[in-house]
């Protein structure tokens, strides 16, 4: 499978750490030139860029805050200016604000609203900016969450809502861009070993009560999720569009 994406240019938003970095490395391993966006950690982003270049591909990091909707167009323009085109967009950047139920007297509405801004409107803005310049036959892949269709614990209503919104939006974009043979899909992971999961679940990882809901009783690896993204980005997935693919060990069954 190595080099099946040779000659393609990919953008992974939020690609300086966690799942985004794993996706960027997996795309580069398959031969794609890769741009990543980051908000604040230039050092981490540059380290990822060096890892990507070590695989023999071109790579850049672009500072861009997805909470700022006006930053979407300059991000896309920077990628196209550097590489000459854009073939694959991975909308990965997101945050998770969880833990409070909607009736909490001290509900942190400010951060919940920011979550909607980043997870939904930021991804929408990036997609809108990318769609006119994306190559015919290109790929758009959203990183959703199993919680877009199933909420296994309280305190996650807004996060689940953002991911459900992304799944619906992706189906509409798939319809809009199908005439150009651009596929649009959502990968919906469950629990993964990321900073986001640690912030929600703590340092101990997934608790037994959560693992008990998985037929495959473990959490996903970042490499497994990244491999699914790479498959959807590749030549063998040209007839899959408008789909949401669960990567959650059967948790939703």
207: helix, strand or coil: coil
Which residues are within 8 A (CB) of 189 and not within 5 positions of it... i.e. 6 or more apart?
19, 143, 144, 145, 146, 220, 225, 247, 248
> In this predicted structure, what is the pLDDT of residue 16?
96
Q: Which residue has the higher pLDDT, 209 or 179?
A: 179
234 with 5: CB under 8 angstroms? yes
Quick check: 101 and 155 in contact, CB under 8 A? yes
Q: What is the pLDDT of residue 214?
A: 75
- Both tokens assigned to 53: 């270049």
- For residues 188 and 141, give the distance between their C-alpha atoms in angstroms, rounded to a whole number: 11
- Give the model's pLDDT for residue 192: 73
| Torsion, CA 3, CA 4, CA 6, CA 8, rounded to 10 | -150
| Core vs surface per residue 143-178: b (16+ CB within 10 A) or e | bbbbbbbbbbeeebebbbbbbbbbbebbbebbeebe
pLDDT tens column, 171-205: 999 999 999 999 999 999 988 776 665 556 656 56
Using one digit for the tens of pLDDT, what is the confidence trace for 28-71? 999 999 999 999 989 999 999 999 999 999 999 999 999 999 99
Residue-wise pLDDT for 1-10, tens only, equals 578 999 999 9
Residue 36 CB partners (closer than 8 Å, separation 6+): 11, 12, 13, 14, 15, 16, 20, 21, 24, 45, 48, 49, 59, 60, 61, 62
Distance CA 90, CA 79 (A): 13
Dump pLDDT digits (tens) for 119-174: 999 999 999 999 999 999 999 999 999 999 999 889 999 999 999 999 999 999 99
Whole-number pLDDT of residue 212: 74
Q: What is the pLDDT of residue 218?
A: 79
Q: Which of 159, 169, 231, 239 is catalytic?
A: 159
Q: In what order do the strands lie in the sheet with 134-143?
A: 59-63, 33-38, 9-12, 86-91, 134-143, 183-189, 244-247
Per-residue pLDDT tens over the stretch 75-116 = 999 999 999 999 999 999 999 999 999 999 999 999 999 999
In the residue annotation, 159 being an active-site residue is answered as yes
């Amino acid at each position: 499978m190595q080099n099946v994406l040779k000659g393609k240019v990919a953008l992974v938003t939020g690609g300086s750490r966690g799942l985004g970095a794993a996706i960027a490395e997996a795309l580069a391993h398959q031969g794609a030139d890769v741009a990543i966006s980051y908000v604040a950690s230039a050092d981490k982003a540059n380290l990822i860029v060096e890892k990507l270049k070590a695989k023999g591909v071109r790579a850049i990091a672009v500072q861009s805050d997805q909470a700022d909707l006006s930053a979407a167009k300059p991000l896309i323009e920077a990628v196209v200016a550097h590489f000459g085109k854009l073939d694959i967009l991975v909308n990965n950047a997101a945050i998770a604000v969880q833990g409070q139920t909607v009736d909490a007297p001290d509900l942190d509405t400010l951060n919940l609203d920011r979550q909607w801004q980043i997870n939904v409107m930021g991804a929408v803005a990036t997609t809108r900016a990318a769609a006119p310049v994306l190559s015919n036959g290109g790929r758009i892949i959203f990183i959703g969450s199993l919680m877009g269709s199933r909420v296994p614990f309280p305190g996650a209503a807004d996060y689940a809502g953002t991911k459900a919104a992304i799944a619906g939006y992706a189906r509409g974009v798939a319809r809009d861009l199908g005439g150009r043979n651009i596929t649009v899909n959502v990968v919906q992971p469950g629990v993964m070993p990321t900073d986001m999961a640690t912030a929600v679940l703590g340092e101990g990882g997934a608790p037994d009560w959560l693992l008990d809901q998985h037929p495959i009783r473990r959490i996903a690896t970042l490499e497994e999720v990244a491999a699914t993204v790479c498959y959807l980005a590749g030549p063998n997935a040209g007839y899959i569009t408008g789909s949401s693919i669960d990567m959650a060990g059967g948790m939703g069954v």
